[in-house]
Amino acid sequence: MARRIGGRGGGSDPAGGKGGAVVAAAVVALAGAAGIGGEAALSASTATSGSTPGLQARKADSKKNARDGDADNALNRLGMRIRKKAVKQDLECLTNSFGQVREFFLHTPCTALDRWVLAVDDGAGNVAVVSVVWVSFGDRARTKRFERLIDVYGTGDVRPLGAALLDLADIRFTAAHYWSETRGNTITIAESEPATGHVEPDLLDAMTEVAAQLPRP
C-alpha cells in the first residue's frame, strides 16, 4: 500500500492532456443502483459538509466490501452511490501511459490492463469521478518494481478512462487523491477527483483508498 509522494499536479495527465481519449468502452448506467441509506451510509447533508463525520469508522467496513468485489455497498457505506461506470480491458500498457511509467513499459511490458471509471454522487448533486486501473506483469518482482516507480510523484501514470464516457465534462486526474495496492502480480491504482458540486477532500481520499481494494473485474 502506498501513497504517491507529493501534492497536486503529478498525476495521471500531462499538463493540458485529456484524462482519456474517447475509447470503445462499455458504459453501464446503473439504474436502480443501491441508494444512500442504512446504518452505514451518510446522509446527503453530512457527506460533503465540512470534515466528513464518522468517515474513518465506516472505511474499514467499506474496504471489506470492496475486497469482496462489492463496489456498490463499499461506496454506499461512505455515503455515495454509483451513477454510471465505463470499463475497458486491454493488453497494451505502453500506448495508454506517459512519462517514466511509459518508459518502464518499453522494457517491461504488462500482461493485462483493466480500467474502470465511475461517477458517484451523494444524492444531493455532489458528484465525484473515481478511476481504478489494474496492471499485471509476468511476475511479482516486476510488479514491485513498477509499484516503486508509479508511487513516486511526477513519474507519469497509466491514463484513466475519460470522464466523458460518463457524460461528464472531462476531468484531469491530479494524483491529489491517490492510492495503490499490490497483490501478487497485479497492482491496483485508484484516483478520485471532484466533478460537480462539492465533495470533501477526506471523502475523496477515503473513496480512493477503498476503490484500490477492488479485485480485478
Instruction: Give the burial class of 92: count Cβ atoms within 10 A of its Cβ; 0-12 exposed, 13-18 middle, 19 or more buried.
Output: exposed
CB burial readout 199-211, b (16+ within 10 A) else e: bbeebbbbbbbbb
Q: Tell me the pLDDT of the chain (217 aa) as tens digits.
A: 444 433 333 455 443 333 333 333 344 433 333 333 332 222 233 333 346 768 888 999 999 999 999 999 999 999 999 999 999 998 899 999 999 999 999 999 999 999 999 999 999 999 999 999 999 999 999 999 999 999 998 999 999 998 778 878 778 899 999 999 999 999 999 999 999 999 999 999 999 999 999 999 8
DSSP structural state of residue 149: H
Burial grade of 181 (CB within 10 A; 0-12, 13-18, 19 or more):
buried
Sketch the domain layout of the chain as residue ranges: 26-34+82-208
Cα 104 → chain centroid: 21
